[in-house]
Amino acid sequence: MSLQRTLEDARCYPTAEELNRLVGPDDPTLPPPLLIAELGSFAYDTVRQRIPRLIRDVVANNAFPSFIARRILAIEQEITGRHPVRPLTEDAPDRALWDWAWIPHQGKSWFELPWYFAEAYLHRRILEATGYFQPGPWQGFDPYVVIKRAHYTEAGGAIAQFALAYESLVGLDNADALTALLHYNLWSNRADLSYRAVAARAKGMPDIAHERQNLLIDDAPRVVATLSSGRFRRVDIIADNAGLELLYDLALADALIRRAGLHEVTFHLKAQPFYISDAMVADVYEALEFLAGAESTAVHALAADVQDYIAVGRMRLLDHWFWTSPLCYPALWPSLRQELGQADLVVLKGDLNYRRLVGDRHWPCTARLSEVAAYFPAPFLILRTMKAEVILGLTPERVNQLFEEDPNWMVNGQRGLIQLVEPQKQTEGK
């Protein structure tokens, strides 16, 4: 949805009553959520160190007037001073949604919040501070656009890195090209601009052979065989980051249409700025401009093909309020559930989509993802580098081995997943 529609049509957001009916009471049989209060956890470190730095970067990278800069920095003071988390104060179409999510945490400090709510609410508070929803010169301004754009324009940036890898696909047969793109797409997920230590690992062209040792689950052969079977007409991609990762998303979507014969690829993108580098519809068009201006003939042709697919409706760019909401995926909004259910396969990109898929909870590593995500309306593919302390589908022996090899294996972005999942309800019905 455009910003104008977001501002004019408040009915696209749910009421508190609708949210209560959808979410219902807490289920005591579920594992506890990931909490920031867990000392030594990545969530605790995120709020103690990474988020204050992020807030200061937003101010430093934008020419905001002093009153906006003060409002943004006040969020940092609220967090580091362990003051109670305040509610939104602006009149905005999503106010009821965020008030509903904030009420259970009234009086708590940021260090007492569930991890996902804290991160999502932070980015909504930054939009409030910048006047994103309010009439005036800063309405609709992306406070992260400078950071995202630098990913393309810096020396040896995303376009140069992408061109090197993409040109290596020229001349490959369809199956080999799809296999390589799955791996490139996965490892480009390291280029998360909110996590600079991991983003630095995404530099250069991924060495697929070397990186195979870092795959905890590798269903790439099964995925390529399935996509090449001719049975699929539509694949949906729930996107993650703009920049290098989005370039590989577009390349994968092009290959699904051109090499695997799909009729349609649908992108699900953020409706407003979120998590610094999360991709919106505007970011797709900006990425296409950079691709079209590349010196590489192959990359230039890719941009033209993608633009044609968008023009004729074979590649759709959708956004929805849910993707930037405080809700996890077990509470998929009904219209969105219906939309995803029309896909033959849904690709979930990145760490946060995985966390929201499993409710951002402390599931045992041995739990079965197909059972935990049995609610999901379609088969899905996980492309994720590990940047959070939650993973399902491993054996106890494998988990012990990983901790012996690398105590930080869950959060340092070194390891990843290419995991094809058919939720239990789907497989039982066949």
Q: How do residues 212-244 score in pLDDT, each as one tens digit?
A: 999 999 999 999 999 999 899 999 999 999 999
Regarding whether 213 and 117 lie in a shared domain, the answer is no
Could you tell me which of 180, 181, 284, 194 has the C-alpha nearest to residue 239? 284
**Do 170 and 130 lie in a common domain?**
no
Q: What residues pair up with 317 in beta bridges, in sequence order?
A: 267
Residue 427 is predicted with a pLDDT of: 42
CA dist 344 → 88, 174, 221 (Å): 39, 20, 18
Q: Find the domain containing 86 and state its range.
A: 3-143
pLDDT at res. 426 = 45
**What's the predicted TM-score (pTM) here?**
0.94
Task: Give backbone dihedrals phi and psi of 103, rounded to 5 degrees, phi first.
Answer: -55, -45
Predicted local distance difference test score (pLDDT) of residue 424:
66
Task: Supply the pLDDT for residue 201.
Answer: 55
Q: Give the domain CATH number at 273.
A: 3.40.50.10880
pLDDT of residue 338: 96
Per the structure, how many domains does the chain have? 2
Q: What is the pLDDT of residues 162-175, one digit of tens each?
A: 999 999 999 999 99
The pLDDT assigned to 428 comes to: 39
Q: Are residues 138 and 184 in the same domain?
A: no
148 within a domain of the structure (yes/no):
no
Residue 306 DSSP label: H
**pLDDT at position 195:** 52
In this structure, the answer to whether residues 31 and 57 fall within a common structural domain is yes
The last residue of one of the domains, among 108, 143, 178, is: 143
Cβ atoms of residues 315 and 306 within 8 Å: yes
Closest CA to 385 of 200, 227, 226, 236: 200
Which residues in the chain land under pLDDT 50?
Answer: 1-10, 198-199, 426-430
Q: Indicate if 184 and 328 belong to the same structural domain.
A: yes
Residue that terminates a domain, selected from 143, 172, 202: 143
Name residue 215's beta-bridge partners. 416
216 and 113 in a common domain: no
CB 241 within 8 A of CB 277: yes
Given a contact cutoff of 8 angstroms between Cβ atoms, the answer to whether 119 and 351 are in contact is: no
Is there a single domain that holds both residue 416 and residue 314?
yes
Same domain? 349 vs 224: yes
Neighbour count for residue 368 (Cβ, 10 Å): 14
Q: Are residues 103 and 217 in the same domain?
A: no
On whether both 299 and 166 belong to a single domain, the answer is yes
